[in-house]
Amino acid sequence: MGPRSRATLTVIVSLFLSLSCGGWTSVEALTPTITLYTVRRQVPNLTPTARTIYPDGYFFLPPTVGPPRGIPQVIIGDNEVRAARDLTSPIIGALRLYRSPGFATTSSDRTYAFGLIDFFNEDTISISGVINASVPVGAFNELAVVGGTGKYRNANGYYQVATLPESNSATGVIVFQVNIYIS
C-alpha cells in the first residue's frame, strides 16, 4: 500500500468513525420535535376508539381476552391526541392507525402499524413501522415518520411511543407518550 492509498484509507476510517460517533451522540442529545399524548379507549370502556375489523366484531382487547394471538387480525383505531398528559387537556387531533399483529409464531409479538396523526387541519404526520407488543410499560417502540402534509410536508424522521403507567385495563383507558423527531 503506497502513501497515497494509506492517506485515503485514513480519511475514510476517520470519516466513518466521526459519522458513527456523531450519530450516536446526536441521537442521545436530541430533543423531540413534538411530544404528544395519545389515548386509546378499549373494552370495557363504553366509548372505544379501537376495534378489530377482522375477524369482524371484536373490539380491541388484550391478547389474553380478545382474539388470540396467532390468528390474522386487523385493528383500526381513531385515538385521541392531546398536547398534555392530563386527560382533561384539549384534544388536538386524532391518531388514525391500522394495525396487524404477526400471526406466525416467529412474529406474534410484532404488530405492523401504519397511519397518521390528523391535527384536524391541513397538518398531518404519516407513520409506519412495527410495535413490539412485549416491551414493558415506559419503554419506547420506534416507527418511521414517512411523510406529512401542511406544515409537516416532506417530513421524515422517527416516532417513538411508550405506554404510560397510568394506563388502566380495568377502565380500558390506555395512555401513550409519543415523541416525534422530524429532520
Q: State the minimum distance, in angstroms, from the CB of residue 103 to ligand NAG.
A: 14
Q: State the minimum distance, in angstroms, from the CB of residue 102 to ligand NAG.
A: 9
Q: State the minimum distance, in angstroms, from the CB of residue 36 to ligand NAG.
A: 23
Q: State the minimum distance, in angstroms, from the CB of residue 142 to ligand NAG.
A: 11
For cell 409519543, the residue is 178
For the segment 97-116, give every residue that binds ligand NAG (CB under 6 A).
109-110
CB 71, CB 55: distance < 8 Å: yes
- State which residue, 135 or 146, has the beta carbon closest to ligand NAG: 135
Phi, psi of 118 (to 5 degrees): -105, 115
Residue nearest to ligand NAG (CB): 132
Distances (CA, A) of 142 to 7, 82, 113, 174: 39, 19, 11, 18
In the numeric block, which cell numbers belong to residue 22?
456523531
Q: State the minimum distance, in angstroms, from the CB of residue 154 to ligand NAG.
A: 30
- State which residue, 38 or 111, has the beta carbon closest to ligand NAG: 111
Q: How many CB atoms lie within 10 A of CB 135?
A: 14
Q: Work out whether 69 is an interface residue with ligand NAG (CB under 6 A).
A: no
CB 142, CB 158: distance < 8 Å: yes
Q: Position 168: which residue type?
A: N
Options 45-53, 129-137, 146-154, 173-181: segment touching ligand NAG (CB under 6 A): 129-137
Residue 77, SS3?
strand
- State which residue, 12 or 139, has the beta carbon closest to ligand NAG: 139
Element (H, E) at 149: strand 141-149
Interacting residue with ligand NAG among 14, 25, 132, 168 (CB under 6 A): 132
Number of chain residues interacting with ligand NAG (CB under 6 A): 5
- Listed in sequence order, the DSSP H helices in the chain are 3-29
| Site for ligand NAG, rule CB under 6 A | 109-110, 132, 134-135
